[in-house]
């Protein structure tokens, strides 16, 4: 949650304002208080701030004030540019009435980027004797803009990260990267305004102002469009998080009806991840197969109690027809969640066989997704060894012999041997799945967090100028 700055921080901000005033006064000797140019640039800066657009998700204020203040710093000097910054910020605050703490950090940022841009340009001019109107002159203006932009972002971005208790890197990715192309275009506009002034005087700057305001409007419209897309993505992630939580609730409800389900699902998930790792599959595939295995029997939710709780009695042919529907039902349930469609495909195919005699689609060999073949091996093993399954359990050694017997017909030999290798050296609790923890394998909090991470905080009035 965003918080208010401490008294110490506020004192530091006031000290920064006072220091900026001292520097501005000291630099007054190199100032050129051209009334016409100052009035033109100040009017443009104030108007651009009054009509500034603030995006909600990216938290960026789109204003051309940085462009005009940098031009003022170049042609009028650091002092007049700083004065223009104060007038601009106060006009914007009078219009939008945002909190005083935000007004203070905005004053700090605007004063210092104006001063440093002006001092940089003055230093370059004196050191290199830059002649007005040359390529080096305009390159120095471009550099002054980049310095102003960097100072603005470092101060505002750092302050926002402190207030929100978030990382500065996240702030840079969220606030700076989306507007970086437009910032570079604004730097070019600053050069264009400067060229117009050098070639045709203040009147040309006034005409150029129309182009600057149009540019500000177009950038604002573009970012607002992106903002709406980002908000839609946020809502999608929130909904997906709720859906993942609902899946968990379904699994728990199924477990209440059939005590085997939770332990069996957790065991198959753990075995599947380790088979995939031993077979050299990627970390992404290991996570994918783990999730699919955890949910592979969720389609059994549709089965009536007389089948689900039938114990070890022999099922009738009609009951087997119902049981064979659970891969399709599971895939249908899971595929409703954004991003879970690949998991649905694995669930749909986990009862297919290498020889084509499986269900529901009678796929053969490589037609069966590789991760579904991994789940098949883990599922078959746990059904053979689990003491709570629908058949008499056998030892781990006997189960591996059986898996190898059906390798090449029912199961994929590659994954059977990978699992046999995993089991070597494991203790009895692991081999029987007795020590598996359903909650740990589910890791619900992490799954929901993965969907709703990077949620944007509420907007504030501290700004990044363009």
Query: DSSP readout, 246-283?
Result: HHHHHHHHHHHH-THHHHHHHHHHHHHHHHHHHTT--H
- List the single range of 57-71, 230-244, 317-331, 393-407 with lowest mean pLDDT: 230-244
Residue 5 pLDDT class (50, 70, 90 cuts)? confident
Section 404-414 average pLDDT: 96
SS3 184: helix
Residue 241 pLDDT class (50, 70, 90 cuts)? low
Sign of the Cα pseudo-torsion (150, 151, 156, 158, in order): positive
Most confident of the ranges 79-83, 291-295, 408-412: 408-412
**Which pLDDT belongs to residue 57?**
44
In the chain, what are the domains?
A: 7-233 (1.10.1760.20), 258-435 (1.10.3210.10)
Residue 362 pLDDT class (50, 70, 90 cuts)? very high
pLDDT surpassing 90 at residue 301: no
CA 68 to CA 85: how far, in whole Å? 10
269-282 tens-digit pLDDT: 999 999 999 999 99
The tokens for 190 are: 């600053």
The tokens for 438 are: 């359903």
CA 236 to CA 459: how far, in whole Å? 20
* pLDDT, the chain, mean: 80
SS3 338: coil
Of 291, 283, 390, 278, nearest in space to 350 by CA: 291
**Which pLDDT belongs to residue 408?**
95
Cβ neighbour number for residue 389 with a 10 Å cutoff: 16
- List the single range of 67-76, 218-227, 333-342, 370-379 with lowest mean pLDDT: 218-227
CA 133 to CA 128: how far, in whole Å? 14
Section 242-258 average pLDDT: 64
**Which pLDDT belongs to residue 460?**
41
Section 341-348 average pLDDT: 92
The tokens for 102 are: 């935000």
pLDDT surpassing 70 at residue 297: yes
Residue 171 pLDDT class (50, 70, 90 cuts)? low
Query: 184 CB contacts (<8 Å, ≥6 apart)?
Result: none
Cβ neighbour number for residue 431 with a 10 Å cutoff: 17
- Percent over 70 (pLDDT), the chain: 74
**Which pLDDT belongs to residue 312?**
60
SS3 content of the chain, % helix, strand, coil (to 5): 75, 0, 25
Most confident of the ranges 51-65, 94-108, 443-457: 94-108
122-163 tens-digit pLDDT: 888 877 767 787 888 888 888 888 898 888 888 888 888 887
Of 20, 41, 80, 151, nearest in space to 465 by CA: 151
Residue 443 pLDDT class (50, 70, 90 cuts)? low
**Which pLDDT belongs to residue 276?**
97
Residue 414 pLDDT class (50, 70, 90 cuts)? very high
Residue 177 pLDDT class (50, 70, 90 cuts)? low
CA 263 to CA 386: how far, in whole Å? 9
Residue 462 pLDDT class (50, 70, 90 cuts)? very low
> 88 with 45: CB under 8 angstroms?
yes
The tokens for 458 are: 């509420």
The tokens for 209 are: 């102002």
Section 36-62 average pLDDT: 72
Measured CA angle at 441 (ends 440, 445), to 5 deg: 65
CA 145 to CA 200: how far, in whole Å? 22
With b for 16 or more beta-carbon neighbours within 10 A and e for fewer, the 332-353 pattern comes to ebbbebeebebbbbbbbbbbbb
pLDDT surpassing 60 at residue 180: yes
**Which pLDDT belongs to residue 27?**
85
């Amino acid at each position: 949650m965003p918080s208010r700055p401490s008294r110490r921080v506020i004192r530091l901000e006031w000290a920064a304002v006072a220091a900026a005033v001292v520097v501005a006064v000291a630099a007054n000797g190199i100032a050129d208080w051209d009334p016409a140019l100052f009035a033109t640039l100040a009017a443009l800066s104030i108007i651009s701030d009054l009509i500034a657009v603030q995006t909600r998700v990216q938290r960026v204020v789109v204003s051309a004030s940085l462009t005009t203040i940098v031009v003022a710093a170049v042609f009028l000097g650091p002092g007049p540019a700083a004065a223009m910054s104060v007038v601009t910020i106060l006009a914007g605050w009078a219009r939008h009435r945002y909190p005083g703490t935000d007004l203070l950090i905005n004053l700090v940022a605007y004063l210092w980027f104006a001063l440093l841009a002006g001092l940089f340009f003055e230093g370059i001019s004196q050191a290199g004797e830059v002649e007005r109107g040359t390529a080096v002159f305009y390159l120095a203006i471009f550099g002054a803009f980049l310095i102003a932009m960097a100072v603005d972002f470092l101060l505002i971005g750092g302050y926002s990260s402190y207030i929100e208790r978030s990382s500065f890197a996240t702030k840079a990715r969220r606030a700076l990267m989306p507007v970086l192309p437009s910032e570079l275009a604004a730097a070019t506009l600053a050069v264009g305004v400067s060229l117009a002034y050098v070639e045709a005087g203040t009147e040309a700057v006034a005409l150029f102002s129309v182009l600057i305001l149009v540019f500000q409007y177009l950038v604002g419209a573009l970012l607002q469009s992106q903002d709406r897309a980002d908000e839609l993505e946020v809502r999608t992630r929130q909904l997906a998080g709720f859906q993942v939580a609902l899946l968990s609730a379904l699994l728990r409800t199924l477990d209440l009806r059939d005590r085997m389900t939770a332990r069996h699902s957790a065991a198959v998930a753990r075995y599947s991840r380790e088979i995939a790792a031993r077979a050299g599959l990627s970390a992404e595939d290991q996570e994918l197969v783990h999730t699919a295995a955890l949910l592979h029997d969720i389609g059994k939710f549709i089965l009536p109690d007389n089948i689900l709780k039938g114990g070890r009695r022999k099922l009738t042919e009609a009951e087997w027809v119902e049981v064979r529907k659970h891969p399709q039902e599971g895939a249908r349930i899971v595929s409703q969640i954004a991003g879970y469609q690949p998991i649905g495909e694995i669930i749909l195919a986990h009862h297919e066989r290498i020889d084509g005699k499986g269900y529901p689609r009678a796929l053969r060999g490589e037609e069966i997704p590789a991760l579904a073949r991994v789940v098949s091996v883990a599922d078959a093993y746990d059904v053979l060894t689990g003491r709570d399954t629908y058949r008499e359990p056998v030892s781990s050694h006997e189960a591996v012999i059986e898996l190898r017997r059906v390798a090449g017909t029912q199961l994929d030999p590659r994954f059977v041997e990978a699992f046999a290798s995993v089991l070597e050296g494991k203790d009895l609790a692991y081999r029987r799945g007795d020590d598996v923890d359903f909650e740990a394998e589910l890791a619900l909090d992490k799954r929901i967090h993965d969907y709703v991470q990077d949620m944007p905080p509420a907007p504030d009035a501290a700004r990044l100028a363009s």
